[in-house]
Each structure stands twice: as structure tokens, then as C-alpha cells.
Structure 1
Amino acid sequence: MKIGELAKKADCPVETVRYYEKQGLLPKAQRELENNYRRYNVTHLERLLFIRRCRALDMAHDEIRTLLQAMSSDSTSCSPIDNVISQHLEHVQDRVKELKLLESELKKLRNECDSRRSLEECGIVEKLNANEKVVSTNRNKSKHLGGVH
């Protein structure tokens, strides 16, 4: 199948297929001799769907790459796969905590406003302009592979 058909079956843009191929997540396609078109097969589709499912779980490319490497290794143990998922779960749990803290801060900020006030009297603008420390979510300390999100 051509790249457009593969992309359609995987419900993603053609550029995404090219990108995953360039990143080494998707194997290089065979090229037709007469027109140099890429030719994909069912294996490419299965891999692309796997990648898309992982991305739907907000997994980073390095995590997906690690899963793919573990799946193609000679090992019979699934512990490397379990490790990736466990680490990703920890990242998600950390992020949920960060988002709850952010939610709390935004609620406090929203409570500073009475929409009947003028812009000059807006408590939100006043707080945002105040020289007070802003609560940080410490995203730089993430243990997440690839440091993305």
C-alpha cells in the first residue's frame, strides 16, 4: 500500500508516517523502482497502530522505542516492558499531582476577581502583577523518559 492508504488506515496524517519512519519507530518502506513511491505492508500498519496507541497513552518516543526494542529482543521476559509502563505510570501520577496543585492555584486566583469590577480593580491582574513567588509544578524534575510533555 502507498503512504496515503497507510495513513488513512491508521487515521493519521501522511506527515506523521514520514516522521515516525525518520525517527526509526517505523521501519523504512520499500521503494518502487519505476517511481520511487514508498510501499508499505501489513507489518508497517500494525507497527503504526501500535505507535498510535502508545501515543494515545501519552507515551514519549523514547518509551515507545524501548517497548519496540524489548518486543524484538530474544528475551522471553516482559520485565523491560513492565518497567517502561511502571515508569510512565509514575510520571502520570506525578503530573496529576502537579495539575491538582495548578488547579488549586487557579481557583485561588479566580476567587480574587469579581467580574463586576473594572479592569483597574481586577484582583486577578493585581495578583499576577504582584511581586510574589509563583507556585512551581517542578516539571524539570520529571523522571519521565525523554523529558517530554
Structure 2
Amino acid sequence: MTIGKLSSRAGVKVTTIRYYESIDLMPQPHRSESGQRIYDETSVERLSFIRHARDLGFPVESIRDLIDLQSKPDQDCASVDAIARRQLANVRYRLNQLEALEAELKRMIAACEGGSVENCTVLACLSDHNNCREDEHGRLNGLLEG
């Protein structure tokens, strides 16, 4: 199948497929005589695996490790379990950070009494981190971005 067909079947953009190939998460495809990329069902399965792992928040390196482990079916799955547990710990940590962010935003909004912008509590908190009660929300490190 073509890259467009693979894209449709796996629900992943063509540019994402090319990116995964460039970082070796997806193997380089076979090419037709005219140079067109040609994919098979194994490519759909691999791409679906990667997409699902990304949807669950696994970082690229963990996915790379999982793919490597997947190619060793007789090996004990303790390594897979450790990767999944590490991801769960990361999710729990981020949830705690988001709860701190939620609490601070609620406090800022509740403290706002209306009036003029020059006396706005929300803007005061955003202007000076010392006006915040929660410090933990300052460590989200791009959690809400892209």
C-alpha cells in the first residue's frame, strides 16, 4: 500500500509516518521501481502500536525499547512491565501538577473582585509568582503545550 493508504489505515498523518521513519521507529519501507514507498500489514500494525503508545503518553525512547522487546517474544516481560510502571508514575506526577495548577487558578479567579484591570488579582498573580500560593504549578515543563 502507499503512504497515503497507510496514513488512512493507521489514522496517522503522512508527515508523522515520515518522521517515525527518520527516527527509526518505523523501518524504511520498500520502494517500487519508480521510488514510491510501499507498505504492508506489518507497517500498519507497527504504526498502530506506536500511535497507541503515544496516545498513552509514552516517550519515543520508551516506545523504541518496547518495540525492541516486542521482537524478543521468549524474553521475560519484566522489562515491559517496568516501562509501563515508569509511565504510570510519570502520569501520576503530572496529574499532581495539574491538580496544583487547578487549585491555583481557582484561587486566583475566586480572589478577583472585578473592578478595573489595574487592580486585577489574576493579572497580579500572573505578573509575580510570589502572589501564588501553590509553587508546584510552576514546574509543568510544557505539559499543556503540544
- TM-score, normalisation: structure 1: 0.85
Change (3 A) 1:59 1:131: closer
Question: Identity of paired residues, percent?
Answer: 33
Question: Which residues of 2 match residues 77-96 of structure 1 at below 5 A?
Answer: 77-96=76-95
Query: Structure 1, residues 28-83: CA drift from partner, whole Å, max 9, x if none?
Result: 100112x1000000100100001111111011111110100111136421111101
Which residue of 2 is the match for residue 10 of structure 1? 10
Change (3 A) 1:113 1:45: same
Change (3 A) 1:75 1:131: closer
Which residue of 2 is the match for residue 129 of structure 1? 127
Which residue of 2 is the match for residue 113 of structure 1? 112
Q: Please list every run of 5 or more consecutive structure 1 residues that lacks an aligned counterpart in the other structure.
A: 141-148
Query: Hey, which bits of structure 1, 4+ residues long, moved more than 2 A?
Result: 73-76, 126-131, 136-140
Q: What's the CA shift for 1:127?
A: 2.8
Aligned length: 139
Retained in 1: the 8 A contact 2:30–2:39? yes
Give the partner amino acid of 2:120: C
Which residue of 1 is the match for residue 35 of structure 2? 36
Q: What's the CA shift for 1:114?
A: 2.4
Q: What's the CA shift for 1:112?
A: 1.9
Bigger Cα displacement from structure 2, 122-131 vs 81-90: 122-131
Query: Structure 1, residues 8-34: CA drift from partner, whole Å, max 9, x if none?
Result: 11111110111111111111100112x
How far apart are the structure 2 equivalents of 1:69 and 1:127? 47
- TM-score, normalisation: structure 2: 0.86
Give the partner amino acid of 2:18: R
Change (3 A) 1:109 1:84: same
Q: Which has the higher contact order (CA 8 A, sep 6+)?
A: 1
How far apart are the structure 2 equivalents of 1:131 and 1:43? 51
Question: Which residues of 2 match residues 94-105 of structure 1 at below 5 A?
Answer: 94-105=93-104
Change (3 A) 1:14 1:93: same
Q: What's the CA shift for 1:101?
A: 0.9
Give the partner amino acid of 1:29: P
